[in-house]
Amino acid sequence: MTQLSQFRRGAAVLASVGLLCGVLGSGTATAASPSHAPRVGDSGHGHGAYKGRIIARTGLVVRTGPGTEHPAMTTLPYGEVITLVCKVNGQNIHGNPRWYKLDWRRDAFASARYIEPIGAAPEWCRDKGD
């Protein structure tokens, strides 16, 4: 084996390692910064793709505002994974005053008491109609 072929082999290995590090590095950066990830139905508010799983055994009631005084819109089934836009304080439900704004329609809220975040919890809403 000549010195030139050893050099080429070493250069190929280094190039492969660099490519692999670049791919893994960009995947890690994206996962570490969920607020910069695009999400389906993004309304341009710069929120990330926050997810949550419904843990209410009888289903989760989606309302037009963060409290049971707001009209119910629908009920989502236990175990369904939903997209969370942001969080607000609202009516206290069994010791938890947090409500999540859902990426479902403009004014869709559900009690955080019955949603288990997958990964990071969403940021605070800028206002109720965020």
Beta-carbon contacts of residue 110 (< 8 Å; ≥ 6 apart): 60, 61, 62, 63, 76, 82, 99, 100, 102
Read off the tokens for 37. Answer: 């990830």
- From CA 80, how far away is CA 101, in angstroms rounded? 16
Ramachandran sector of residue 94 (left: φ over 0; alpha: ψ -120 to 50; beta: rest): left
Q: What angle do CA 28, 29, 31 make, to 5 degrees?
A: 65
Which pTM does this prediction carry? 0.62
- From CA 80, how far away is CA 26, in angstroms rounded? 29
> pLDDT (tens digit, 9 = 90+) per residue, 103-114?
977 789 999 999
Beta-carbon contacts of residue 28 (< 8 Å; ≥ 6 apart): none
Q: How far is CA 45 from CA 77, 108, 126, in A?
A: 27, 16, 10
Residue 55 vs residue 20, higher pLDDT: 55
> pLDDT (tens digit, 9 = 90+) per residue, 24-63?
343 333 333 333 233 333 333 444 589 999 999 999 999 9
